[in-house]
Amino acid sequence: MRNSFWLLILAASVSIASGQPTRKVSFPMDQQVEQLVAGGDLELISVDAGVATALFTDRSRTGGPALSALRGLKVLSPDIDQELAAFRARGNVGLYHTAESTAAELREVAARYPALCHLESIGKTFEGRDIWALRITGAADPAAVPRMLLFGLTHAREWISAELPFFVIHQLLDGYATEPAIRKLVDGRCLWIVPVLNPDGLAYSQSQYKMWRKNRSRRGPSTGVDVNRNFEVGFGTGSSDAPTSDVYHGPAANSEEETRALLALVKREKFHVSLSLHSYSELILYPWGYSKADPPGKSVLAGHGRAMGKLNGYRPGSVAQILYDAGGASDDTFLARHGCWAWTFELGTEFVPPDSQIKSICQKNWPAVRHLIEASAELATTPPPTSGAASVDERLATLERAFLDSALVSPGIDPLGELVATVQGQLPEDRALAAEVERRAAVPAWTRLYAPLLGLPR
């Protein structure tokens, strides 16, 4: 119940195209809201002590119960976009970073600490913004020390998730000269920090529609892909095929600039550890998101999850086991395909906490982040059991080799069965492989070879 409920929360999407104001409402959750959610008019935000908070945009096309039919309805805000208007009236977004101030501050920091920093654009977004990554290390040979990736703002509205990366940057760099323990840490590690993975989304959330979640790519009939549903592992599970959905996975795995930029960095730097930052719910998450099965290295993931939970007070657990099924997320792919231990924090109790809480949320989480930076030494020597797991191409090549040389196939292994099952979507975790098989099936030479085996027309 809890899982499907949370899935509903994410599966809902709100459009601003209707011209109607988006109201923020609350009501007791013990009543049917599925039709309103499915119609796209209602987006549940949270449920606390049985009371739901939701956004409602009346487009009068659900055919289901009207919002007014809900018992105990309270209108908390007649027009939530007024919240942004308030920001705009102040001419800024409070203490929060924007896409521009992120770039500016990273440049400033890199210039102030040239011996410890290297600033790099790891790619350009759909709208042409740079995705900035700052490398911090005092090691003479960065390739010889444990490597960790820390990144925030995958989701546009989760502004607080870009603030902790900056706090960490300042703890490490400003503390370097005065705190021997920090100096030792910076000298003994290589840390890459991407405060804002999705600058297009952030800019839109800060100027147009605060509740925007996706990026701003426009490749099809509608705008935006959920970057955290666009990675390869579990692509298509716990996400939506509908381009208008808030959890739209995109036309194919890795279709998005942000996904590809981060992946290229992960492949190049071969990180031992990664921490992705989201908001909100005060959780420490680890794979899998795509399946309720235990991930490889579960004891390590859970062990550090608990250790960090003691430091920030957050609740640790596997995504699919304590939250909802969500495939195509960065952490699953990093763990399964890139030998990189992966955790995700859900910071705080709202997407954009008041300015006055930014610092305390960062302070509360810094010891947990520091724990992981420290632990990266030990984690670097114990890669996850599936480390080096094959890419789609490699997995397909393996299957092809087995196909073509069936004499070599050992008893008990059935590559044809595996391929067919994959194509039929029976291995949901391998939707990327299935998509690739389907794509290649359109290539005549490939089809001639495999059509009879797959039962496809030649």
Q: Catalytic site residues?
A: 346
CA distance 437 to 451: 11
Q: Rounded to the nearest whole angstrom, what is the least distance from the CB of residue 161 to Zn ion in the complex?
A: 7
Q: Indicate the residue type of 383.
A: P
Question: Which of ligand 0X9, Zn ion, none lies near 332, with the C-beta cut-off 5 to 8 A by kind?
Answer: ligand 0X9
Q: 45 phi and psi, to 5 degrees?
A: -100, -45
Q: Which of 24, 155, 210, 304: binder of ligand 0X9 (CB under 6 A)?
A: 155
For 290-313, b/e burial (b = at least 16 CB within 10 A) is bbeeebbbbebbbebbeebbebbe
Interface segment toward ligand 0X9; rule CB under 6 A; list 11-19, 62-70, 283-291, 436-444: 283-291
- Asked if residue 353 binds ligand 0X9 (CB under 6 A), the reply is no
Q: Which residue is nearest to ligand 0X9 (CB)?
A: 289
Please select the residue that binds ligand 0X9; options are 57, 230, 344, 376, rule is CB under 6 A.
344
For the CB of residue 344, give the shortest distance to Zn ion in the complex, in Å.
8
Tell me if 278 contacts ligand 0X9 by CB under 6 A: yes
Does 340 bind ligand 0X9 (CB under 6 A)? Our answer is no
With binding defined as CB under 6 A, does residue 331 bind ligand 0X9? yes
Which residue ranges make up the site for Zn ion (CB under 5 A)? 155, 158, 278
**Residue number, 331 or 418, with CB nearest to Zn ion:** 331
When the beta carbons of 158 and 200 are compared against Zn ion, the nearer one is 158
Three-state secondary-structure class, residue 18: coil
Residues in 288-307 that interact with ligand 0X9 by CB under 6 A: 289
User: Which residue bears the tokens 């499915």?
Assistant: 38
332 touches ligand 0X9 by CB under 6 A: yes
Q: How far is 162 from 151, CA to CA, in rounded Å? A: 8
Residue 26, binding choice from Zn ion, ligand 0X9, none, Cβ under 5 to 8 Å by partner class: none
Q: Which stretch binds ligand 0X9 (CB under 6 A): 45-53, 84-92, 98-106, 282-290?
A: 282-290
Partner that binds at residue 41, options ligand 0X9, Zn ion, none, CB closer than 5 to 8 Å by kind = none
Q: Pick the piece of the chain touching ligand 0X9 (CB under 6 A) from 11-19, 193-201, 325-333, 442-450.
A: 325-333
Q: How far is CA 6 from CA 12, 135, 160, in A?
A: 10, 36, 21
Which region, judged by CB under 6 A, interacts with ligand 0X9, from 182-190, 299-307, 327-335, 416-424?
327-335
Residue type, 75: V
- Cβ closest to ligand 0X9, residue 335 vs residue 419: 335
- Length of the chain, please? 458
CB nearer to ligand 0X9: pick between 206 and 344:
344
- Among 326, 379, 392, 419, interactor with ligand 0X9 by CB under 6 A: 326
Backbone angles phi, psi at 318, to 5 degrees: -75, 145
Which residues pair with residue 44 across a beta bridge?
A: 54
The nearer residue to ligand 0X9, 158 or 200, going by C-beta atoms, is: 158
How does 334-372 read in b/e, with b if 16+ C-beta sit within 10 Å? Answer: bbbbbbbbbbbbbbbebbbbeeeebeebbebbbebbbbb
Q: Judged by CB under 6 A, which of 319, 372, 402, 419 binds ligand 0X9?
A: 319
CB of 29 to ligand 0X9, least distance (A): 18
Q: From the list Zn ion, ligand 0X9, none, which binds 344 (C-beta under 5 to 8 Å, kind-based)?
A: ligand 0X9
439 CB neighbour count, 10 Å cutoff: 11
Question: Least Å distance between CB 347 and ligand 0X9?
Answer: 9
Judge contact between 218 and 126, C-beta under 8 A. Answer: yes
Helices (H), 382-443: 392-404, 415-423, 431-440
- Distance set, CA 409 to CA 366, 391, 416, 430, 449 (Å): 51, 21, 10, 21, 18
Structure tokens at 14: 């709100």
Q: In whole angstroms, what is the distance from residue 143 CA to residue 111 CA?
A: 22
Binding mask 220-239 for ligand 0X9 (x = CB under 6 A): --------x-----------
Cα–Cα distance for residue pair 192/194, rounded to 1 Å: 7
Residues that bind ligand 0X9 (CB under 6 A): 155, 158, 228, 278, 285, 287, 289, 319, 326, 329, 331-332, 344, 346
